[in-house]
Structure 1
Amino acid sequence: MTLYMLDTNAASEAIRGNPAFDARLQAMAPGQWCISAVTCSELRFGIARRPEAVRLHRIVQEFLRISPILPWDAQAATKHGDLRAHLKASGTPIGDFDEMIAAHALAVGAVVVTDNTRHFARVPGLVLDNWLRAPTGH
């Protein structure tokens, strides 16, 4: 079974209640999708910066309650160190948190679900899926 790891922009679509995105999640078997602890951190940071957004806090908290959150571990850290060095040496860094999410997905063999495929495509060996764009038919 393929494991899908939602990056932060994909998780945000679920939080916003995108019907097509939610349908994809609900159609999956338990344990078939997850978020990285890094994405959890980014979402918590986002709501911490907006304490007045009470409704948003509730929605994010509920999303995090139902989301399988994979812990950042030594295997992810090892992949991250290697990936970060590679991207920096090639002059194509993608940002610290995205590099961490990509490395985490590589470490667990997950497909990254993102709308930022051009950005994540810089990561060698990373498999991507964009649930927000309709297939072009090409």
Structure 2
Amino acid sequence: MTLYLLDTNAASEAMRGHPAFDAKLQSLPPGQWCISAVTSSEIRYGVASRPEAARLHRIVDEFLRIVPILPWDALAATRHGALRADLKARGTPIGDFDEMIAAHALALGAVVITDNTRHFARVPGLVIENWLRPSGH
């Protein structure tokens, strides 16, 4: 069974109620999609830094209550160290949090769901899908 790991922009679309995105998530069996603890942190930071936080907190809390949040563990950290060094050496870093999410997906053997395919495509061996714009553009 394929595991789908939503990156932060994909999780944000799920919380916004994007119809096609929601339909895709609902078509999957329970446990087939999740987010990284890194994504949970980014979402919490985003809502805490917005003026309309009270309304957003309710939406975020509900989403984080239902979505499986996988811990960022030692295997993810190991993958991250090697990935970050490789991307830096090639001059193609993608940012700390995206590198952590990509490393987590590699450690899990998961597919990253993102609208930022050009960014994540820099990661060797990472499988990505864009459910918002299926052509990837």
TM-score bucket (shorter structure): over 0.9
Whether 2:61 is the aligned partner of 1:61: answer: yes
Question: What SS class does the counterpart of residue 35 from structure 2 fall into?
Answer: strand
- Percent of paired sites with the same residue: 80
Query: How many matched pairs?
Result: 136
CA distance in 1, matches of 2:68, 2:19: 20
Aligned ranges 1:1-138 → 2 under 5 Å: 1-50=1-50, 52-135=52-135
**CA RMSD of superposed structures (Å):** 1.1
CA distance in 2, matches of 1:67, 1:106: 20
Question: What SS class does the counterpart of residue 112 from structure 1 fall into?
Answer: strand
TM-score, scaled relative to structure 2 = 0.96
CA distance in 2, matches of 1:42, 1:14: 15
How far apart are 1:48 and its partner, in Å? 1.0
Structure 2: stretches of 5+ with no match in the other structure: none
TM-score, scaled relative to structure 1 = 0.95
Counterpart residue type for residue 25 of structure 1:
L
Describe the superposition over 1:77-111 as per-residue Cα deviations: whole angstroms up to 9, x where unpaired.
00000000000000000000000000000000000
Describe the superposition over 1:34-90 as per-residue Cα deviations: whole angstroms up to 9, x where unpaired.
000000000000111125432211011100000100001000000000000000000
Question: What SS class does the counterpart of residue 65 from structure 1 fall into?
Answer: helix
Counterpart residue type for residue 106 of structure 2:
L
